[in-house]
Amino acid sequence: MAGLELLSDEGYRVDGRRAGELRKVRARMGVFAQADGSAYIEQGNTKVLAVVYGPHEMRGSRSKALHDRALVNCQYSMATFSTGERKRRPHGDRKSSEMTLHLKQTFEAAILTQLYPRSQIDIYVQVLQADGGNYCASVNAATLATIDAGIPMRDYVCASSAGFIEDTPLADLNYVEEAAGGPQVALALLPKSDQIALLEMNSRLHEDHLDQVIEAAIKACKDIYTVLDQVVREHVHEVTTLLGE
Amino acid sequence: MASVVLSEAEKVYIVHGIQEDLRVDGRGCEDYRCTEVETDVVSNTSGSARVKLGHTDILVGVKAEMGTPKLEKPDEGYLEFFVDCSANATPEFEGRGGEELGTEIVNTLYRIFSNGSSIDLKSLCINPREHCWVLYVDVLLLECGGNLFDAISIAVKAALFNTRIPKVRVLEDDEGSKEIELSDDPYDCIRLNVDNVPCIITLSKIGCRHVVDATLQEEACSLASLLLSVTNRGTLTCMKKLGKGSLDPESIFEMMETGKKVGKTLHIALQKTLEKEESLGTTRQKVGFLG
Amino acid sequence: MPLDHRRVPGPEESQAPLLYAAPGEEEAAPGREAAALRPLLARAGLLSQAEGSAYVELSGGTKVLCAVRGPREAAEGRGRLLCEFRRAPFSSRGARPRPGPAAAARERELGLALQEALAPAVRLARYPRARLEVTALLLQDGGSALAAAISAAALALADAGVEMFDLVVGCGLCRAPGPAGAWLLQPSEAEERAAPARLTVALMPGLNQVAGLLGSGQGGPPESWARAVRLGLEGCQRLYPVLRRSLLRAAERRAAEGPRSTGSSA
């Protein structure tokens, strides 16, 4: 780690945050009128849009329909201008296919799919600007969009990343910290029941530190939950006032 | 595009209304919907703009990268267009579903920029035959509520207006090898002159009249439309018939006149909005998708 | 850097060939009348494998062969017209164009223009659950290629006995260089290359309806474009009898041959 100090002696990170501090989260639900549900989230400079269509009847081949629950169909794509260097294609490459699969697994765990047999729920996520924690922001945005669409879920799904640098667990990594190549955990949590929907770890980390890092990620997820919950409540309040209640 | 299914009665209602110069949303035949333009929404691009025209929502990012000039034009840079019809707009665009529409739009964009006068490409040249700026204009379609082409052209123009390309100098050392030096000051940059960038005006023929800025419902009632690209001086740089119907020769001439008139007003309004936003500078509250 | 043994290493310094080409070598095209049409040869029904076919040649080099297949069964509900425009690898001047996404995109744009010009004339409602495939192959590009392809495709559709409202006739135009350049009908390839603006119009002559319109460049104010469209439509009207005659001749030939009873209507 030549040159760049990711954690100063005083305990500040490159963007001036403390170890367990999140980036500023701003979110909005109901961005688009045509989709069944949509949401936009900004976590620092990471900006993500999510749109939900459904539940509706199967599109395309009916053979994919599941007789006892709904099929969750996801697509993760990144705008060609979202990264520092221009991407050649928005989706279909290996990285985004992997993300698509992760999203699908996360939301299959959270949505009450058994209520909608033989139907389909589409979740489309679009990263507009990437600055670390793309998966996590995508999950948070998709949660809000799913709630906006009125699809019943077990719980919110909140995701956050965590890293481990200089013996300190760091929550919500930004691009610079991610690019440094240290150990990195992405965790999606159902905060009320404390269940983990997805856990992924890269790089090498001593077993003794794993608990600490996961603890940091869980803490961050719960912080995000507070923010998301507030956004949802504000949105519902707004909508009901518009309805004149 | 989100498909709309209209019954015969609904179609008749729309067509009859247009006959009386009154559209379903209260506009006249030559009125645009309320248009929101915001520039500089994605901070890691050289220039970006978001345009919301009714329910049509477009985000354009321009990235300047260094490349080599094309052989046939050694002293000019060039523009590359890409349109991503994202699945956000409609589930039909999932996977490769949006590619067909994307290529159609890209081809049209190349066509309206193909004349030499839209943008001064010579200013994008760094040193002839070796280095030039390539502007990647990436269009992201977030929602379609009709009149895609117009919205995209407005967004492209706004994004190009917002584009700032860093100034570079070519240094030549004793052995004749060239080195490129980036200016230290991040505010030291080239701006593009977008005065001549045309905007697309699509005129949809409905009944025996034509309307500008058709909504999805109106597009469903129209069999043929005429796409015109109009510069701020009122000259046409591209015309194209769209749709599966045909047009009467006389109506084409009328549509061209309307296109010219509407185009000029649109350019003036857009320029005013962009300049107003520019004058606010850093004090402007960025709204983005949160507003 | 590892050496690539599969390639012949070129000289370290290379120059663009343009450096050696003296500017302005091309001779100016001889002056001609703006409204002059190039002689056109049209022949319908010359391929035995396709349901309908036509060949259109403009004097001066443009050669287009067009075939129609169908109506074939398709899974989806409505009838569909699929058009493809292809350039033969040897069609254009100079080196063979490199096949790639850029070339494919250009061909697709012309295919789409072809489809939009033909769609108003074909009675697709009469072909539910069916598709019609139109393929135009440009053998030689001598200017006004899209216009020739539109005429050829309409002839081929009529030759296939597809129900149509009218024939479609295409006509190309370009603007002569210079600030007050006049519009020329059916330009040659050299004129097209030098032109600041190009336009292709397609007309259904019987109904007097414009089926297709595709143009771009510095054509000036709408009045100038309007003049071009008028000139083009006039050109289409003048080409129409030639195309009609070729269809009639194809029908006669077929009647003389005997058993196959499908007649074509002009």
* B59/chain A closest Cα distance in angstroms: 9
* Cβ–Cβ < 8 Å for A182, A4: no
CB pair distance less than 8 Å for C213 and B226:
yes
Tokens standing for residue B129: 């035959």
- State the count of interchain CB pairs (< 8 A) between A and B: 102
Instruction: State whether residue B138 sits within 8 Å of chain A by CB.
Output: yes
Q: What's the pLDDT tens digit per position in C232-259? A: 999 999 999 999 999 999 999 988 886 6
pLDDT value of residue B288: 82
- Cα torsion angle, C212, C217, C221, C225, sign: negative
Nearest one of A163, A167, A160, A166 to A203, comparing CA atoms:
A163
* B118/chain A closest Cα distance in angstroms: 23
pLDDT value of residue B280: 86
Chain A contact partners (≥3 CB pairs within 8 A): B
- Provide the 8-state DSSP code for B220: H
- Categorize the per-residue pLDDT at B127 as very low, low, confident or very high, splitting at 50, 70 and 90: confident
Residues of B in contact with C216 (CB under 8 A): 111-112, 114-115, 229, 237-240
- Cα torsion angle, B229, B235, B237, B241, sign: positive
CB pair distance less than 8 Å for B249 and C105:
no
Angle, CA of B184, B189 and B191, to the nearest 5° = 175
Largest CA distance in chain B: 79
C-alpha–C-alpha distance, residues B215 and B209, integer Å = 15
Long-range Cβ pairs for the range A1-7 (8 Å, 24+): A1/A180, A4/A176, A4/A180, A6/A165, A6/A166, A6/A176, A6/A177, A6/A180, A6/A182, A7/A165, A7/A166, A7/A168, A7/A170
C-alpha–C-alpha distance, residues C156 and C56, integer Å = 10
Nearest one of A168, A174, A178 to A202, comparing CA atoms:
A178
pLDDT value of residue C266: 41
Q: Does the pLDDT of residue B239 top 80, yes or no?
A: yes
Residue to substitute from B149, B246, B252, interface C, most C β-carbons within 10 A: B246
* C128/chain B closest Cα distance in angstroms: 16
The strand pairing partners of C241, in sequence order, are: none
Instruction: State whether residue B259 sits within 8 Å of chain A by CB.
Output: no
A 10 A CB-CB count for C99 gives 11
Q: Does the pLDDT of residue C8 top 80, yes or no?
A: no
DSSP string of B272-286, one letter each residue: HHHHHHHHHGGGSPP
A 10 A CB-CB count for C25 gives 6
* A4/chain B closest Cα distance in angstroms: 21
pLDDT value of residue C111: 93
Question: Pick the residue with more confidence: B201 or C32?
Answer: B201
C-alpha–C-alpha distance, residues A186 and A100, integer Å = 15
The dihedrals phi and psi of C89, each to the nearest 5 degrees, come to -60, -25
* Cβ–Cβ < 8 Å for A51, A32: yes
Q: What's the pLDDT tens digit per position in C36-64? A: 888 899 999 888 889 999 999 998 889 99
Q: Does the pLDDT of residue B162 top 90, yes or no?
A: yes
Q: What's the pLDDT tens digit per position in C158-182? A: 999 999 999 999 999 998 887 777 8
Tokens standing for residue C112: 């789409």
Q: Are strands B47-53 and B35-39 parallel, antiparallel or unpaired?
A: antiparallel
A 10 A CB-CB count for C142 gives 24
Residues of A in contact with B86 (CB under 8 A): 77, 90, 124, 126
Residue in C120, C197, C214 nearest the CB of B244: C120
* Cβ–Cβ < 8 Å for C137, C152: no
Tokens standing for residue B250: 């006389």
C-alpha–C-alpha distance, residues C223 and C219, integer Å = 10
* Cβ–Cβ < 8 Å for B63, A88: no
Q: Does the pLDDT of residue C220 top 60, yes or no?
A: yes
CB pair distance less than 8 Å for C230 and B249:
yes
Nearest CA in chain C to B233: C221
CB pair distance less than 8 Å for B239 and C208:
no
CB pair distance less than 8 Å for C209 and B226:
no
- The strand order across the sheet containing C130-140 reads C40-44, C52-58, C63-73, C130-140, C80-87
Q: Does the pLDDT of residue C261 top 60, yes or no?
A: no
Residue to substitute from C210, C223, C229, C231, interface B, most B β-carbons within 10 A: C210
Give the torsion through C-alpha atoms of A235, A236, A241, A242, to 10 deg.
70
CB pair distance less than 8 Å for C218 and B115:
yes
Long-range Cβ pairs for the range B246-250 (8 Å, 24+): B246/C120, B246/C121, B246/C204, B246/C207, B246/C209, B246/C210, B246/C211, B247/B205, B247/C209, B247/C210, B247/C213, B248/C208, B248/C209, B248/C210, B249/C208, B249/C209, B249/C210, B249/C229, B249/C230, B249/C233
Instruction: State whether residue C242 sits within 8 Å of chain B by CB.
Output: no
C-alpha–C-alpha distance, residues B138 and B48, integer Å = 9
Nearest CA in chain C to B234: C221
Nearest CA in chain B to C115: B244
Residues of B in contact with C204 (CB under 8 A): 246
C-alpha–C-alpha distance, residues B234 and B228, integer Å = 11
Residues of B in contact with A35 (CB under 8 A): 88, 143
* C226/chain B closest Cα distance in angstroms: 6
CB pair distance less than 8 Å for C209 and B248:
yes
C-alpha–C-alpha distance, residues B164 and B46, integer Å = 6
Q: Does the pLDDT of residue C2 top 70, yes or no?
A: no
C-alpha distances (whole Å) from C218 to each of B254, B272, C174, C179 are: 20, 26, 10, 10
Residue in C109, C197, C207 nearest the CB of B107: C109
Tens-binned pLDDT, residue by residue, of chain A (245 aa):
456 788 888 889 988 999 889 999 999 999 998 899 999 999 999 999 999 998 998 887 778 888 999 999 999 999 999 998 899 888 888 999 999 999 999 999 999 999 999 999 999 999 999 999 999 999 999 999 999 999 999 999 999 999 998 889 999 999 999 998 889 999 999 999 999 999 999 888 999 999 999 999 999 999 999 999 999 999 999 999 998 86
Q: What does pLDDT average to over chain B?
A: 89
C-alpha distances (whole Å) from A91 to each of B269, C100, C222 are: 36, 21, 41
Angle, CA of B44, B49 and B51, to the nearest 5° = 145
pLDDT value of residue A245: 65
Instruction: State whether residue B94 sits within 8 Å of chain A by CB.
Output: yes
- Categorize the per-residue pLDDT at C94 as very low, low, confident or very high, splitting at 50, 70 and 90: confident
Question: Pick the residue with more confidence: C71 or C93?
Answer: C71
* B114/chain C closest Cα distance in angstroms: 7
C-alpha–C-alpha distance, residues C155 and C136, integer Å = 11
A 10 A CB-CB count for A10 gives 6
C-alpha–C-alpha distance, residues B249 and B278, integer Å = 43
Instruction: State whether residue C222 sits within 8 Å of chain B by CB.
Output: yes
Tokens standing for residue C254: 């077929």
Buried (b) or exposed (e) across A67-88, using 16+ Cβ within 10 A? Answer: eebbbbbbbbbbbbbbbeebbe
pLDDT value of residue A1: 46
Chains C and A touch (3+ CB pairs under 8 A): no
What is the SS3 assignment for B170? Answer: strand
Give this complex's ipTM.
Answer: 0.89
C-alpha–C-alpha distance, residues A50 and A29, integer Å = 10
* One-letter amino acid for residue C148 of the chain: A
Q: Does the pLDDT of residue C14 top 90, yes or no?
A: no
Nearest one of B27, B1, B4, B2 to B217, comparing CA atoms:
B4
| Secondary structure percentages of chain B, helix, strand, coil, to 5 | 30, 30, 40
Residue carrying structure tokens 């120059």 = C15
pLDDT value of residue C265: 44
C-alpha distances (whole Å) from B104 to each of A40, B85, B111, B240, C110 are: 29, 11, 11, 12, 10
Instruction: State whether residue C71 sits within 8 Å of chain B by CB.
Output: no
Q: Residues of B numbered 64-83 whose beta carbons fall under 8 angstroms of chain A's beta carbons: which are they?
A: 65, 82
Residues of B in contact with A82 (CB under 8 A): 42, 44, 61
What is the SS3 assignment for C71? Answer: strand
C-alpha–C-alpha distance, residues A91 and A75, integer Å = 8
Tokens standing for residue B259: 């296109």
C-alpha–C-alpha distance, residues C225 and A115, integer Å = 60
pLDDT value of residue C110: 92
Tokens standing for residue B139: 């269009």
User: Which residues, other chains included, contact A58 with Cβ-Cβ below 8 Å and sequence gap of 6+?
Assistant: A64, A65, A71, A118, A119, A120
CB pair distance less than 8 Å for C120 and B245:
yes
pLDDT value of residue B105: 93
**Contact residues, chain B to chain C, C-beta under 8 Å:** 71-72, 74, 103-104, 106-107, 111-112, 114-117, 129, 224, 226, 229, 234-249, 252-253, 256-257, 259-260
Residues of B in contact with A28 (CB under 8 A): 289-290
The dihedrals phi and psi of A179, each to the nearest 5 degrees, come to -70, -20
pLDDT value of residue C24: 57
Please state whether B104 falls in left (phi above 0), alpha (psi between -120 and 50) or beta: alpha
* C233/chain B closest Cα distance in angstroms: 8
User: Which residues, other chains included, contact C167 with Cβ-Cβ below 8 Å and sequence gap of 6+?
Assistant: C121, C154, C155, C158, C204, C205, C206, C240, C243, C244, C247, C266
Secondary structure string (H, E, C) spanning chain A: CCCCCCECCCCCECCCCCCCCCCCEEEEECCCCCCCEEEEEEECCEEEEEEEEEEEECCCCHHHCCCCCCEEEEEEEECCCCCCCCCCCCCCCHHHHHHHHHHHHHHHHHECHHHCCCEEEEEEEEEEECCCCHHHHHHHHHHHHHHHCCCCECCCCEEEEEEEECCEEEECCCHHHHHCCCCEEEEEEECCCCEEEEEEEECCCCHHHHHHHHHHHHHHHHHHHHHHHHHHHHHHHHHHHHHCC
Angle, CA of A11, A17 and A23, to the nearest 5° = 155
Residue in C215, C218, C233 nearest the CB of B249: C233
